Amino acid sequence: MTDRLITKAFFDPIFDHEHAYDRTFGVYLHRCAREELVVKAMQRARDAGTLGTFEGLEGRRFDEAKAWNALAEGHDPKGKIEMYLTSAILLDKVDTIVGEAFSKFSNRNGEEIHDKEGFHKSLAAVALKVEKWLEHPKQFQKDHMLPRGTSFGDFDDREISYLVRLDGWDKIELMEKGLRDDWRPVRGSPEDSCEKDDDCEMEP
């Protein structure tokens, strides 16, 4: 049997905090090892030969995708910044799963837990749900749907945004858009992205 990436004990740091039950989700964000969890899942996928990489990053500053590729190529992140960048593409969904579960025992998004006994009992199931998602991370449901929660800006050009379509560890599609454009799949470098109908300068 494969060792679990996350168990109920993952949430233990919440309960060492003075605001464990009145600012629960915020304490989770700051105390639980979310980035490390995602990086471990990525390392496991890499070691199994199933971690895909992002194509078409040449000429672009999508640092989160570049950090992902670096891990896929054998460079494990060092320090908080690298750890965050490497895990960022998957963090939002993990936090959404946790926040939705916490909210069942509170009045808003995991804050002010009223049913403490029920909340504690639920954590094993929350951990299992996160574990299952990390086995096959999915950022969209159908081909025509855009992913939610994976929008990132270009570090050099803030008018450019990126979206990640992910169906498992090895099926990755990167999309981009300009400020007034529609989303489109990334194809090669920005300077090579002219279409037939564009007014591109053609070589004689």
**Pairing state of beta strands 184-185 and 172-177?**
antiparallel
Residue 62, both tokens:
């999508």
Q: Is residue 52 a part of any domain in this protein?
A: yes
Q: Is residue 86 a part of any domain in this protein?
A: yes
Per-residue DSSP letters for 143-156? TTSPPSS-EEE-SS
d(Cα 50, Cα 191) in Å, to the nearest integer?
A: 31
Q: Is residue 181 a part of any domain in this protein?
A: no
Q: Is residue 17 a part of any domain in this protein?
A: yes
Q: Is residue 157 a part of any domain in this protein?
A: no
Q: Is residue 67 a part of any domain in this protein?
A: yes
- Provide the residue range defining the domain that includes 92: 8-135
Cβ-based neighbours of 196, under 8 Å, separated by 6 or more: none
What is the value of pTM for the model shown?
A: 0.86
**Which amino acid, 98?**
V
pLDDT tens by residue, the chain, 204 residues: 458 999 999 999 999 999 999 999 999 999 999 999 999 999 999 999 999 999 999 999 999 999 999 999 999 999 999 999 999 999 999 999 999 999 999 876 657 898 999 999 999 999 999 999 999 999 865 666 666 667 899 999 989 999 998 999 999 999 999 988 888 999 866 655 444 434 333 333
**How many structural domains compose the chain?**
1
Q: Is residue 203 a part of any domain in this protein?
A: no
